[in-house]
Structure 1
């Protein structure tokens, strides 16, 4: 494809402003932002005037995705729009980058995946989680080398106090019509741990809403969620998430094997390894050739420009893998029973 890649943005909120747009604008020879469609025409105009004055503000996202002068649709909207926008754009012959989480439900994710395989010549990718990215290669290498032997148990904590104030209005992540089955950081970390430990095959879940009504809105999305899971190789996991935890520890994972323990702090990217028989954990540096920095936007652009370039990950199939777990956990939470993850 000849330069530049011509991008239309659907949904220009905080993550687009803070992360995606600066990276895209840093590639002026390779990228042109052609049009922007935000939540309203007025907000589209404000965004363009402030950040990309050369772009055309638009009111209707499907008109943006249909433009002949755009070859990439960058979906930065909230999850309730992900499936419709991605499917429409792929069918219109556009490459698609979609913000995480993939969709509100497994059914919506399925439509996205089917559209991507029906248009396999197009690049379709999801935004990867930054959590664990820097040390991902090191963790996977240590596990593959058997640094802690066969894994039998893991524990993950992701707690914050963002939803503690009962007088605060419902955040969009607490609105089921917007976020769907996504709860806190559950989907993010499912993606990470399945990359490290393999597929989750069954789940049990428990959770609750602490403040059921916020500013007249009835909240259904849990304020905290606890999930017990089983991996394909038989290892067990205990995952704890909360938005109502005051003074919580930093997000981290502990992986226990027959020969030792491996831990990862998702905030500091610190890795520690303890061997069976030793009383102390040792810090494990991330080798320079294993460090993975944030190059998400350039990776996607280069894949669009060069069909021989590596396809960016996660793609829509990998998104389906964590959405199957998200769906199973929602069903387990509702039924109170163990639910097997769809194959």
Structure 2
């Protein structure tokens, strides 16, 4: 496999088409050999339009078992992530898995154990794009004490994408497909834990606003409010909604003893306000600005065992899945739940 990696794609939906495929096609060391989608017909259409040299396949396990596949790129829905990842790792294939990790802690732990049992293989989860550009700048500002000691965080991820009661149910609203994943909760937990440390407790309240979608019962909340505590002592109030018209968008506010730090995830803008001063935009230095290079990080690690293992790996996934699990338990019980 020297200097060359052969990839099979399982699940060729919108994120694969728009984000991953262009980057993979731009790398001469990558060969995309086969594609399996939800149906053979959709795989055939995908190959005809985007990858005429790849073979469309009907069964994902047959694609994973091919001797000319070195790595499996999983773009399927979360209900398939664990089964495909475990099968692929045990078959000696490197794995890139689209976010979110899986439907439940049980499925996530199976993936983690499969990765531990095959440490020579690269097992990577897709990182969240939110906050990626300014990630290092936020970490630096917090580390330098720009807002003193942080004590409170307020995050909003709100939109009206699910307001149309006549629209069909999206797969993200299906417990069968998504499991415990609710809106963008797991994604932002991953971001916040990078900046503020581990979440150790949650109290969650979720509501299904539109319970019927063309005869299908919706069980995944349309709205989620989470109160959380971090190991550092920071307290958080996190709001998520798919039924909020004219919502303020995606942002986080971190309040500290000496000021406030705000990150606008829509435009990647950081604002900082000292306790006695006005809020001002903080430029993201060129040397700190992180670009999307997820596909290259994965391929380089596959080709060079001495290269840094890309993050998030399956252990990082377990960390946010623990919070997702605790939030689900809190919604069921109506009480705060420790993360563990």
> Which residues of structure 2 form unaligned runs of 5+?
none
Cross-structure match for 2:175: 176
Cross-structure match for 2:9: 9
Distance (whole Å) between structure 2 residues aligned to residue 15 and residue 233 of structure 1: 35
* 2:291 equivalent to 1:293: yes
Kindly state the Cα deviation for residue 213 of structure 1 after the two structures are TM-superposed. Answer: 1.0
Distance (whole Å) between structure 1 residues aligned to residue 38 and residue 167 of structure 2: 22
Residues 115-143 of structure 1 deviation map (CA, whole Å, 9 limit, x = unaligned):
01110110000000100000000000111
Distance (whole Å) between structure 2 residues aligned to residue 245 and residue 184 of structure 1: 13
Kindly state the Cα deviation for residue 207 of structure 1 after the two structures are TM-superposed. Answer: 1.6
Cross-structure match for 2:20: 20
Kindly state the Cα deviation for residue 3 of structure 1 after the two structures are TM-superposed. Answer: 2.6
Cross-structure match for 1:190: 189
Residues 83-116 of structure 1 deviation map (CA, whole Å, 9 limit, x = unaligned):
0000000000000000000000111100000101
User: What is the Cα-based RMSD across aligned positions, in Å?
Assistant: 0.7
Distance (whole Å) between structure 1 residues aligned to residue 253 and residue 123 of structure 2: 32
Cross-structure match for 1:321: 319
Distance (whole Å) between structure 2 residues aligned to residue 209 and residue 277 of structure 1: 42
Cross-structure match for 2:253: 254
Kindly state the Cα deviation for residue 44 of structure 1 after the two structures are TM-superposed. Answer: 1.0
Q: Any idea what SS the aligned residue of 2:261 has?
A: strand
Map 1:221-232 to 2 at 5 A. Answer: 221-232=220-231
* 2:34 equivalent to 1:39: no
With the length of structure 1 as denominator, give the TM-score of the two structures.
0.98
Kindly state the Cα deviation for residue 170 of structure 1 after the two structures are TM-superposed. Answer: 0.8
Q: Any idea what SS the aligned residue of 2:12 has?
A: coil
* 2:76 equivalent to 1:103: no
Q: Any idea what SS the aligned residue of 1:193 has?
A: helix
Residue of structure 2 aligned with 1:307, choices 305, 308, 316: 305
Cross-structure match for 2:80: 81
Q: Any idea what SS the aligned residue of 1:289 has?
A: coil
Kindly state the Cα deviation for residue 250 of structure 1 after the two structures are TM-superposed. Answer: 2.0
Q: Any idea what SS the aligned residue of 2:323 has?
A: helix
Distance (whole Å) between structure 1 residues aligned to residue 243 and residue 41 of structure 2: 35
Distance (whole Å) between structure 1 residues aligned to residue 53 and residue 176 of structure 2: 34
Kindly state the Cα deviation for residue 276 of structure 1 after the two structures are TM-superposed. Answer: 1.3
Distance (whole Å) between structure 1 residues aligned to residue 69 and residue 207 of structure 2: 44
Q: Any idea what SS the aligned residue of 1:16 has?
A: helix
Q: Which segments of structure 1 move beyond 2 Å, counting only runs of 4 or more?
A: none
Distance (whole Å) between structure 2 residues aligned to residue 95 and residue 276 of structure 1: 49
With the length of structure 2 as denominator, give the TM-score of the two structures.
0.99
Distance (whole Å) between structure 2 residues aligned to residue 219 and residue 315 of structure 1: 31
Q: How many residues align?
A: 340
Distance (whole Å) between structure 2 residues aligned to residue 49 and residue 250 of structure 1: 37
Q: Any idea what SS the aligned residue of 1:297 has?
A: helix
Distance (whole Å) between structure 1 residues aligned to residue 165 and residue 40 of structure 2: 33
Q: Any idea what SS the aligned residue of 1:64 has?
A: helix
Kindly state the Cα deviation for residue 60 of structure 1 after the two structures are TM-superposed. Answer: 0.6
Kindly state the Cα deviation for residue 4 of structure 1 after the two structures are TM-superposed. Answer: 1.7
Residues 165-185 of structure 1 deviation map (CA, whole Å, 9 limit, x = unaligned):
111111100011001110000
Map 1:126-165 to 2 at 5 A. Answer: 126-165=125-164
Distance (whole Å) between structure 2 residues aligned to residue 233 and residue 40 of structure 1: 47
Distance (whole Å) between structure 1 residues aligned to residue 210 and residue 264 of structure 2: 30
Q: Any idea what SS the aligned residue of 2:194 has?
A: helix
Cross-structure match for 2:280: 282
